[in-house]
Structure 1
Amino acid sequence: MSLAAMQVLVRRNEAGIAAAGEALSARFGARVARTAAIREQHGHTTSWLPNQAPDIVVFAESTEEVAEIVRICAEHRVPVIPFGTGSSLEGHVNAPGGGVSVDVSRMNKVLAVHAEDLDCVVQPGVTRSQLNAFLRDSGLFFPIDPGADASLGGMASTRASGTNAVRYGTMKDVVLGLTVVTAEGKIIHTGGRARKSSAGYDLTRLFVGSEGTLGIITELTLRLFGQPEAISGGVCPFPDVASACNAVIMTIQSGIPVARIELLDTLQVRACNAYSGLGLAETPTLFLEFHGTPNGVKEQAELFEAIAGECGGGAFRWSSQAEERTKLWTARHNAYFAGIGLRPGCKAVTTDVCVPISRLAECVAATADDIAASGLIAPIVGHVGDGNFHVMVLVDVTDAAEVAAAEAFVERLNWRAIEMEGTCTGEHGVGQGKMKYLKREHGEALDVMRTLKQALDPLNIMNPGKIVVI
């Protein structure tokens, strides 16, 4: 299936778009943008899927304004696509039927921090790094770290996770409550600051991961954590990816409370060495981090070192020095840009899957063999502590045969993960790019998702052409 064919056709409503544009311009004035550059920026630019730009971009500054925008679009039956920072990878912010992109980047205030209750309230345009900078002197931090400096509204919408997920969970675990604008333009509140509740349906979890197809998140109540007394981190080389993955499996099964455990294959290590100047041996490598007391992190590191030795790992070099850890994790976060450097001028096809931890070594090894057999250049990197890994296929898009080989490989990878009782996406979300895999993964449950979509968005204006088709 070609890249363009993966994008669901959504019928354009030309008259409605024109009418909504006039109404929005009259209400929001200079905060309505129609220039080609801004519209293309709000179509998908980080994906390998073709860019589908909206017709209009509106920069909202409050929940009430988002509700006004949605009501205008609902009146004229015009698609509404929420936009945070645009860092998602599966075509989430594309506008296949045109319409209005609601940019919430100006809704970027930390509204409250309740240090005694370990929670905070933020607007959706606040990014994870902005929140942690705000919290720096409070002794608290927000742990979900997908790598990109994504907006928290977007992270909730895609149910993001990242490097710390093995210890702190994903967005579904840290979102306590939401303010959401529905497809009718109503403002609702879900959840709350209480840590447990049995009061009705869990609407918070319904909207977390819904990718803007059910409503627009305009406020989030988030769980926070105390900053660890001590942190140590390090690297450990392995002879092959299977050995590295087996070390991960044993570490998790042994109950070591590792905070981060990341896999980089040989090609990714080579790329990071060149891009970030790491000087690591070019062999499959695990990056690790431990949180706790000084004695606790020392004990965790020693336990892991013993496990790594049993799995054929080399010397485990670890340190509690902040400068060394920062260099290591900055290089890990720059893995995407490092990978791009392996084939300048080529397009990155970035995908992820997640499998039960017991199947991790098998899945990664089979994927590495598949890459080699396909003749592709595709580094592997992953948050392997929870069975999640990513592959970035570097493709010359002018070579039709290479594009076809990359598409076939991505398809095999997704089917492989699902057959191993895993998922086609551990954290990238569905968007447009993963829709074709949902029926096999979810079976009849996909019809339940479609029913929910029809009930909450009967006009199909909320980010249409994503997740399910109605």
Structure 2
Amino acid sequence: MKAALPEVLLLALQQRFGPRCNTSLAMREQHGRDESPIDMPPPDVVVFAESVEEIAFVLGLAHAHAVAVIPYGTGTSLEGHVLAVQGGISLDVSRMNKILAVHAEDLTVTVQAGVTRKQLNEELRHAGLFFPIDPGADASLGGMAATRASGTNAVRYGTMRENVLGLTVVSGQGQVLPTGTRARKSSAGYDLTRLFVGSEGTLGVIAEVTLRVYPLPEAVSAAVCFFASVDAAVQTAIQIIQLGVPIARCELLDANAVRAVNAHDKLGLREAPMLLMEFHGSPASVAEQAQTVQAIAGEFGGKDFEWATTPEARTKLWTARHHAYLSALQTRPGCRCVTTDSCVPISRLAEIINASVEDVEAAGLPYYIVGHVGDGNFHMAYLIDPAIAQERETAERLSHQMVRRAIQLNGTCSGEHGIGLHKQGFLLEEAGELAVDMMRNIKKALDPRGIMNPGKIFRA
């Protein structure tokens, strides 16, 4: 049972932050939920920070009173990362939304943690640059670093792990720690940047992020292709990667997902398993990649290969892909989505997807599949009636079967969503007790009072 927030702490926050310290139930409830299906009581107070110094003030105060602090960006996480397990302070960094420096000549940029990926790309396009990590939601870059996000472009450009060069982090004691530099590589000591990337707010609050950025490609082309089965679509994706085609995006939508986005975005696509692909490079290289992929797709029965070469047409297709979650929710009004991701070696992708489809079809639960299949990562989403406990239990059982299968295939329980509250048991299965104990020891060393996003990744 969580302790009440000390009055002296609340008074200090109110004096420092004024109206940016909010205890209204509506604000606390807004910050006490994310896109996961998990319900939890809200935090005791929401504080809106606008600088590194303000973050340090909050954490120093929380450390002195042993009060939990939950970093909050845009609330788009999927595994319960922002839920207030022990109450405490929800520290919202969304107002820290300044782009601090663009070094176009070095292809780097430094931003505050509350800057979103769309905001950054709107600024960068004027310099002929872009930041490729695209998890779908317009997430904050601090949150994307904290969960080691990836998304649709990861097959070519990597994940946040490869694209974060440095951070400014505030520790659980309120100390400001810079990590990394703008140099493209370093062998100087322990890699503290990578320690905090993926730490899900359990080691400190990410306040600033230095990122790699890339020149806008000279030519971009998108294409869709439809298949008789999910297996044929996945086999095509596997062949594309194994042949070394430098495709930028390779996304799978099953027939259920296509049906949902058709209804939501009025696209008129064939309601069959679909690959949505994108090619970056020179006009000649893009054309060559596309021809190669079209030939591979033909070997697996791919039909209706359609091109989208204008920005408007590409945006329409990718917007529909990013709307898959909301589109699917509208197919069953009032439902909630239990979604999970896993990632396996590319050669085992067809095996796990086929088995997962067989399981859910046998269970009779509504579902859809989307996946960044170019890097072996896919998402299974089950649409449940929250009033029917058996549906939730069935969804969790299916999710557990899928994740355990991924681990058995030498994959991971989460390719990009993170662990949060939902996947702690799977982390133990995947990494082992010794590794998880080592993670606990790292947390104790950096956060001795256990105030940083407690209850996430593993139990204390």
1:52 aligns with 2:36: no
Question: How do 1:456-467 and structure 2 match up within 5 A?
Answer: 456-467=446-457
Q: Which residue of the partner structure matches residue 209 of structure 2?
A: 220
Q: Which residue of the partner structure matches residue 375 of structure 1?
A: 364
Aligned-pair distance for 1:407?
1.4
Aligned-pair distance for 1:398?
1.1
Q: Which residue of the partner structure matches residue 86 of structure 2?
A: 97
1:319 aligns with 2:315: no
Higher mean alpha-carbon deviation, 58-67 vs 306-315, is at 306-315
Amino acid paired to 2:3: N
1:180 aligns with 2:169: yes
Q: Is the CA contact (8 Å cut-off) linking 1:20 and 1:78 kept in structure 2?
A: no
Q: Distance between the aligned counterparts of 1:466 and 1:422, measured in 2?
A: 21
Q: Which residue of the partner structure matches residue 3 of structure 1?
A: none
Q: 1:202-223 CA deviation, whole Å, 9 max, x = no partner?
A: 0000000000000000001000
Q: Which residue of the partner structure matches residue 24 of structure 1?
A: 13
Q: Distance between the aligned counterparts of 2:222 and 2:400, measured in 1?
A: 35
Q: Which residue of the partner structure matches residue 139 of structure 1?
A: 128
Aligned-pair distance for 1:29?
1.5
Aligned-pair distance for 1:116?
0.1
Q: Distance between the aligned counterparts of 1:435 and 1:104, measured in 2?
A: 26
Q: Is the CA contact (8 Å cut-off) linking 2:133 and 2:160 kept in structure 1?
A: yes
Q: Is the CA contact (8 Å cut-off) linking 1:40 and 1:51 kept in structure 2?
A: no
Q: Distance between the aligned counterparts of 1:364 and 1:183, measured in 2?
A: 41
**How many pairs were matched up?**
459
Aligned-pair distance for 1:297?
0.6
Q: Which residue of the partner structure matches residue 148 of structure 1?
A: 137
Question: How do 1:41-440 and structure 2 match up within 5 A?
Answer: 41-440=30-429
Higher mean alpha-carbon deviation, 61-70 vs 417-426, is at 417-426
Q: Distance between the aligned counterparts of 1:83 and 1:409, measured in 2?
A: 30
Aligned-pair distance for 1:51?
3.2
Question: 3-state SS of the aligned residue for 2:114?
Answer: coil
Aligned-pair distance for 1:46?
1.8
Amino acid paired to 1:219: E
Question: 3-state SS of the aligned residue for 1:317?
Answer: strand
Match of 2:437 among 440, 443, 447: 447
Q: 1:314-367 CA deviation, whole Å, 9 max, x = no partner?
A: 132123222211111110011111111221111111111111101001111111
Q: Distance between the aligned counterparts of 1:184 and 1:417, measured in 2?
A: 38
Q: Distance between the aligned counterparts of 1:335 and 1:400, measured in 2?
A: 25
Aligned-pair distance for 1:262?
0.3
Q: Distance between the aligned counterparts of 2:97 and 2:185, measured in 1?
A: 28
Amino acid paired to 1:255: G
Amino acid paired to 2:107: L
Amino acid paired to 1:319: A
Q: Which residue of the partner structure matches residue 8 of structure 1?
A: none
Amino acid paired to 1:236: C
Q: Distance between the aligned counterparts of 1:45 and 1:315, measured in 2?
A: 38
Question: 3-state SS of the aligned residue for 1:246?
Answer: helix
- Matched-pair identity in %: 59
Q: Distance between the aligned counterparts of 1:315 and 1:31, measured in 2?
A: 54
Aligned-pair distance for 1:52?
3.0
Q: Distance between the aligned counterparts of 2:336 and 2:19, measured in 1?
A: 35
Amino acid paired to 2:366: I
Q: Distance between the aligned counterparts of 2:41 and 2:202, measured in 1?
A: 17
Q: Which stretches in structure 1 are left out of the alignment for 5+ residues?
A: 1-10
Q: Which residue of the partner structure matches residue 35 of structure 1?
A: 24
Q: Distance between the aligned counterparts of 1:129 and 1:237, measured in 2?
A: 29
Q: Distance between the aligned counterparts of 1:82 and 1:237, measured in 2?
A: 42
Question: 3-state SS of the aligned residue for 2:256?
Answer: helix
Q: 1:243-299 CA deviation, whole Å, 9 max, x = no partner?
A: 111100100011101000000001111111111111111111100000001111111
Q: Which stretches in structure 2 are left out of the alignment for 5+ residues?
A: none
Aligned-pair distance for 1:17?
3.5
Q: Distance between the aligned counterparts of 1:214 and 1:365, measured in 2?
A: 38
Q: Is the CA contact (8 Å cut-off) linking 1:144 and 1:165 kept in structure 2?
A: yes
Q: Distance between the aligned counterparts of 2:395 and 2:86, measured in 1?
A: 27
Amino acid paired to 2:452: M
Q: Is the CA contact (8 Å cut-off) linking 1:57 and 1:102 kept in structure 2?
A: yes
Question: 3-state SS of the aligned residue for 2:356?
Answer: helix
Q: Distance between the aligned counterparts of 2:212 and 2:390, measured in 1?
A: 47
Aligned-pair distance for 1:117?
0.1
Q: Is the CA contact (8 Å cut-off) linking 2:344 and 2:376 kept in structure 1?
A: yes
Question: Aligned-residue CA RMSD in angstroms?
Answer: 0.9
Q: Is the CA contact (8 Å cut-off) linking 1:13 and 1:77 kept in structure 2?
A: no
Q: 1:26-45 CA deviation, whole Å, 9 max, x = no partner?
A: 22121100000000111114
- Please, what TM-score do these two structures have when normalized by structure 2? 0.98
Q: Is the CA contact (8 Å cut-off) linking 1:56 and 1:99 kept in structure 2?
A: yes
Q: 1:410-429 CA deviation, whole Å, 9 max, x = no partner?
A: 11111111111111111111
